[in-house]
Amino acid sequence: MDNATFHKKHNIQQVLIDAGYMVEYLPTYSPDLNPIEHKWAQAKSKKRESGCDTEILFSVHMV
C-alpha cells in the first residue's frame, strides 16, 4: 500500500490481515527517480517564463 495516513490505521491493517493479506508499504516517494517529474519541472519553468496559464502553455506547445 502507499503511505497514506489512513492506510496505517490499525483497523485498516487488521481488516487486511483478517482477510489473509500481508501488509507491506511502498518505499518513500522519490521524485528524482521519476522521469516525468523532470518534464513537469521544465513545463513549469516555461510557464513562469512566458507568464501564461497551463492551458495556453500546452495549446502553444502541442501544435
The answer to whether residue 3 scores a pLDDT higher than 80 is no
Mark out the alpha helices in the chain (DSSP H runs): 10-18, 35-50, 54-61
Q: Could you state, in order of their start, the residue ranges of all structural domains in the chain?
A: 5-61
Q: What is the pLDDT of residue 18?
A: 96
Give phi and psi for 53, each to the nearest 5.
-85, 170
Average the pLDDT over 4-24 and give the result.
88
pLDDT-based confidence at 61, cuts 50/70/90?
A: low
